[in-house]
Structure 1
Amino acid sequence: MTLKRRLFISNIIMVLLPLVLVWVIMMCIGIGMYGVHGLDFDMPAAEKQQMFEDWQKNGRVISLIMMVIAIIITSMTNQFLTRKIIKHVIKLLDTLSCGARQFSKNNLSFRIDYHTADEFRPVCDTFNSMAAQLEKNENNRRELIAGISHDLRTPLTSIKMSIDGIKSGIASTVEQREKYTEIIENKTADLEHIINQLFLFSKLDMDEFTIQTQLVNCSAMMEDCIEELSLEYEQRGLMLVAKKLSRDMYINIDPLLFRRVIINIFENTVKYKTAEKGHIAIDCSPDSETKNVEISLTDDGPGVSPENLEKLFDVFYRADQSRNKKGSGLGLAISAKIIARMGGVIRAELPAAGGLAIVIRLPRIEKDAYNGK
């Protein structure tokens, strides 16, 4: 029962109960003073006159008594019903206060078990949703720290070992010193890449990164990316295949950031491919129902389990423990934030033929309408 209905019923009870009780008391007083026959309306006129005179004599006293009784009954009824409602409210406030104390103790798994359909139900549901989001953020923070620590430790260890090799004289020849120097240069580049990724992610997360959008022909842009990157990824064992690139589709994006998204997806495919040579098929087609453009990048890698599809875009998430040694895990998280800033959505799908598909959906822009603005 809602609090509004409780108050409405309480008000009715506070009005009707005193009236009923006062009426009962008056009837009892009348019976006590005149007996049962005093209530007989067929009594002789002389007796009725005598009764009326008696009521006139005692009327003021009886009225005062009835008023006092009515006030007492009303006050007692009001106190009882108010206490009952306040007890319900205080109980919930105590529960919310308990939840706040649990949060202060970093117990973010605490939830309010409240199923009554009243005005407090949305408050409790909001509290539980907030708790779930805080718990998820805390888990992401812990994973972020653990991921950063792992990803920074690996190249730093290699750099330290190479420096120790040079200082201790293990690298005694020019070729060995050059080899160790090359390792230091490569691992320094890895560190720089991780730091740049973290910097970009933090800027996007705090909404402090400027997006410079412009109207772009989607198919032409994807063709340029494939032509520019094909040789590099082919040497790394990934073949870029353009399957369907529909013409004359325009989207409003930041070309440099969008290119970073595409590269992040390619890099993710290279890291997790199991065959010596992997393939990724690129589709770019219009969605007539939603008036959007869909860009699909489908690989033939191992894929992920269905329950992990939504988690692929979480910070430092890996689909399984064996992938913890491969990369920072920031690429898809950054891609999701970039696409969201451009007004689009990105999702992962499991194709029937196997592998993993990353699908980007962006609003389709009519070129003439855009120029008219």
Structure 2
Amino acid sequence: MKTRGIFLKLGCIMMFLFLIILVPLGFIIDRIFLELYSEQVHKNVNQYADKLKNTFENNFGVDPKIFDYISSTTGGEIIIFDENGIILSSSLVEFQKGQQIQSDLFQLLREGKYFDRGYNNPETNEEFFFVGRPLIVEGKFGGGIFVFSSIDKIHQLMHGIRNWIIISIVGAIILALCYTLFVSRKISKPLIIMERATREIAKGNLATQINIISNDEIGSLGKAINKLSLELNNYRTNRSELLANISHELRTPISYLKGYAQLIKTHQYNDEKELETYSIIIENESERLSKLIQDLFELSKMEEGKTKLYYQLVDIEELLEEVTRKVKVKAQSKDLELAIIKNTLPSIYSDGTRIQQVLLNLLENAINYTEKGKIVVEAKQQNNSVSITIKDTGIGIPEEDLPFIFDRFHRVEKSRSREMGGTGLGLAIVYELVKLLQGNIKVTSEYGSGTEFRVSFPLNIER
């Protein structure tokens, strides 16, 4: 994006809008003033003509010189003519005493009609507006009068008004230009800053942050970019940690596989029993490597939202019996008591296979980390959810490890976890599955006394 592109575009758009408003507005104001002044002039001329009509009708029989006197003292342009259309008095040079009035106008007045017309002086090119009034003397047509008013006066007045309108429009355009520059800069500046910030983020400078100074949509965009930068930074950090963890987790089984395979290849064993031991180690490490890859694949699918859920009515009581039946032999092999406390439970609408996967993982963890004592599984309904608690009397979890217990590859006792075939992904998968099933999971533990996992699922999952 060009640095000035958005600034110029916004400025041009706003100025265009201002011009669209101001130019027609100036034209409308000009028309309004012209109409007002023209209407006022017409009104004044008609009123003046009516007054003169009354005056002349009352004095029509006296000395004709009185017409010249009235015509000269009124200050207006007047033509007076008799019943034959002969001008008796005129204040206009182009209409002299004794001339004949235009026949069509004279005929209108003879019929007693009033009229108004426009007139252009051919010599001076001056424009006039004039009205005609018939003079009725003793009930008969006795002549008529024309009263003229120069339109040039209106034009002169409008010329002054138009100058003021133009000055006002120019002033408004200058103010609008200043306002446009201010607003365009105010809008474009943060956008330009954001554009530069996103370029820095694209280069890999994920610590880039934008200073937010507004709470409008532009401010929201800035916050979104800051959040994006933070999320990308976290993603890069997590990815680096994940790659380091994967590399570390793969190194051990691969080194075992490579080492014992070389021993077998070079026949560095004493007897068949030792060979069998090496083979078992290779098989176990292969299985652990396969499980690690499978767990990583499944966790990746869940985090990307690609895990499919198959909804159905799930009988929780039956599901608990099936899960405990699967781990019963393993618990008995360690002389652990496995107790189930079942209350009356409703069926829930969810993915039974995934719930079973969660419970199996938690139960196997409890068995693996409990040397003696018992494991208690309790299920009960709480409002609109079913709560399942798995409590053991095992080694427990140190308090400092509890916040990270659901993190990938986090192990409380790393060496012991590997001995038990753990990948460090089991609880991370449990956490993602519970979240996917719209449930929640909590853990409480006292180091050396045991651990309690409490997981709940809604009665009816929202799809």
TM-score (normalizing by structure 2): 0.58
Query: Do 1:348 and 1:356's aligned partners in 2 also have CA atoms closer than 8 Å?
Result: no
Query: Do 2:257 and 2:282's aligned partners in 1 also have CA atoms closer than 8 Å?
Result: yes
Equivalent in the alignment of 2:301: 203
Query: Do 1:213 and 1:253's aligned partners in 2 also have CA atoms closer than 8 Å?
Result: yes
Cα distance in 1 between the residues matched to 2:348 and 2:295: 25
Equivalent in the alignment of 1:172: 270
Cα distance in 2 between the residues matched to 1:204 and 1:128: 26
2:315 to 197, 217, 232: 217
Query: Do 1:303 and 1:356's aligned partners in 2 also have CA atoms closer than 8 Å?
Result: no
Query: Do 1:251 and 1:364's aligned partners in 2 also have CA atoms closer than 8 Å?
Result: yes
Range that drifts further, 155-164 or 232-241: 232-241
Equivalent in the alignment of 1:348: 442
Equivalent in the alignment of 1:83: 181
Report the residue type matching 2:258 in the other structure: K
Q: Structure 1 residues 344 and 111, CA, compared in 2 at 3 Å: closer, same or farther?
A: same
Equivalent in the alignment of 1:154: 252
Aligned: 1:359 with 2:451 = no
Aligned: 1:187 with 2:285 = yes
Q: Structure 1 residues 121 and 277, CA, compared in 2 at 3 Å: closer, same or farther?
A: farther
Give the C-alpha shift of residue 226 in structure 1. Answer: 2.0
Cα distance in 2 between the residues matched to 1:323 and 1:182: 19
Q: Structure 1 residues 89 and 358, CA, compared in 2 at 3 Å: closer, same or farther?
A: farther
Provide, for residues 243-302 of structure 1, a one-character-per-residue CA deviation record: whole Å limited to 9, x for no partner: x3212321234333322212222344466x4x74475432211112xx111112234512
TM-score (normalizing by structure 1): 0.70
Aligned: 1:261 with 2:358 = yes
Report the residue type matching 2:177 in the other structure: Q
Alignment of 1:121-160 (within 5 A): 121-160=219-258
Aligned: 1:336 with 2:431 = yes
Give the C-alpha shift of residue 345 in structure 1. Answer: 1.6
Structure 1: 5+ residue runs without aligned partners?
1-6, 20-48, 50-54, 366-373
Q: Structure 1 residues 280 and 110, CA, compared in 2 at 3 Å: closer, same or farther?
A: farther
Cα distance in 2 between the residues matched to 1:117 and 1:170: 73
Larger relative strand fraction: 2
Q: Structure 1 residues 120 and 312, CA, compared in 2 at 3 Å: closer, same or farther?
A: farther
Equivalent in the alignment of 1:62: 160
Query: Do 1:112 and 1:128's aligned partners in 2 also have CA atoms closer than 8 Å?
Result: yes
1:179 counterpart SS class: helix
Query: Larger radius of gyration, structure 1 or 2?
Result: 2
Equivalent in the alignment of 2:380: 285
Equivalent in the alignment of 2:144: none
Cα distance in 1 between the residues matched to 2:326 and 2:413: 33
Instruction: Provide the aligned C-alpha RMSD in A.
Output: 3.7
Equivalent in the alignment of 1:250: 347
Cα distance in 2 between the residues matched to 1:198 and 1:302: 24
1:108 counterpart SS class: coil
Provide, for residues 152-192 of structure 1, a one-character-per-residue CA deviation record: whole Å limited to 9, x for no partner: 21111111111122223321211111111111111111111
Provide, for residues 82-103 of structure 1, a one-character-per-residue CA deviation record: whole Å limited to 9, x for no partner: 1111111112112211221122
Query: Do 2:191 and 2:218's aligned partners in 1 also have CA atoms closer than 8 Å?
Result: no
Give the C-alpha shift of residue 122 in structure 1. Answer: 2.2
Report the residue type matching 2:190 in the other structure: L
Query: Do 2:398 and 2:445's aligned partners in 1 also have CA atoms closer than 8 Å?
Result: no
1:294 to 377, 387, 407: 387
Cα distance in 1 between the residues matched to 2:417 and 2:226: 35
Q: Structure 1 residues 256 and 58, CA, compared in 2 at 3 Å: closer, same or farther?
A: closer
Q: Structure 1 residues 267 and 131, CA, compared in 2 at 3 Å: closer, same or farther?
A: farther
Q: Structure 1 residues 187 and 363, CA, compared in 2 at 3 Å: closer, same or farther?
A: same
Q: Structure 1 residues 324 and 79, CA, compared in 2 at 3 Å: closer, same or farther?
A: farther
Cα distance in 2 between the residues matched to 1:110 and 1:241: 55
Report the residue type matching 2:244 in the other structure: A
Q: Structure 1 residues 276 and 357, CA, compared in 2 at 3 Å: closer, same or farther?
A: closer
1:350 counterpart SS class: strand
Range that drifts further, 252-261 or 91-100: 252-261
Provide, for residues 194-235 of structure 1, a one-character-per-residue CA deviation record: whole Å limited to 9, x for no partner: 122123223334444443343222133213322331331454
Equivalent in the alignment of 1:318: 410
Query: Do 1:336 and 1:345's aligned partners in 2 also have CA atoms closer than 8 Å?
Result: no
Structure 2: 5+ residue runs without aligned partners?
1-13, 27-74, 76-152
Report the residue type matching 1:318 in the other structure: H
Residue identity (%):
23
Give the C-alpha shift of residue 61 in structure 1. Answer: 4.5
Equivalent in the alignment of 1:26: none
